Amino acid sequence: MRVITGYARGMKLRTLDGLDVRPTTDQVKESIFSIIQFEVEGARVLDLFAGSGQLGIEALSRGAQSVVFVDKSRAAVSVVKENLEHTRLAEKAIVRNEDSLGFLKLTKDVFDIAILDPPYGQGLITEALGYLPDVMSENGIIICETAKEETLPDAVSRFSKHKEYRYGKIKITVYRNKENDDDQSNLSGQF
């Protein structure tokens, strides 16, 4: 596992051991960042269910202003901190060792991009989506990685499902603000 591009390009990242650990593949990671490539620079990012932190670190490497990494596993938090030190990106990061849903309920932070990659099949994304609109900026983007058979809601508060992408057994679902999404649709229809 490595950082694909930007400041920390090519640096190897440590991953977690275990049967329930499933690092995002380089292909899927590259696809996620292609989707949001023009929105990462200067963004405040939330890496929820952070695992090794590779998605948040990729965002920092590509110019994100800051990333908050949240994971309830002490082992995961330790790996995130090690990876941040290795890539020299720790000064732009906050690492929280707590339950992701509890974090969403209590945080006063506001994010431009939220990346969710929890263990598959446990319903954690659907639960998290119930709290995310309260911590997202007006033009916020929510990116969810799930197994391809998992079904996510079409809309959550002011956010609607913008697009889904499939990569083998993995599905990426992108939510955007309904009003901004409608504006973009109208603009693209005028040309």
pLDDT at 185: 41
Q: Is 177 helix (H, G, I), strand (E, B) or coil?
A: strand
**How sure is the predictor about 189, in pLDDT bands with cuts at 50, 70 and 90?**
very low
User: Is 18 within a domain?
Assistant: no
Of 35-44, 152-161, 177-186, the least confident: 177-186
3-state SS, residue 76? helix
Residue at 117 is within a domain: yes
Residue 120 resides in a domain? yes
The CATH number covering residue 145 comes to 3.40.50.150
pTM as predicted: 0.88
Helices and strands of the chain, counted as H and E runs: 6, 8
At 64, the amino acid letter reads A
On whether residue 174 sits in a domain, the answer given is yes
Averaged over 72-90, what is the pLDDT?
94
20-24, 60-64, 93-97, 130-134: least confidently modelled range = 20-24
Q: Domain count of the chain?
A: 1
Q: Quick check: is 1 in a domain?
A: no
3-class DSSP state of 81: helix
Residue 33 structural domain: 26-189
Contacting residues for 34 by C-beta, under 8 A, at least 6 apart: none
Q: According to the model, what pLDDT value does residue 64 have?
A: 95
Residue 162 lies in a domain: yes
> Is residue 10 domain-resident?
no
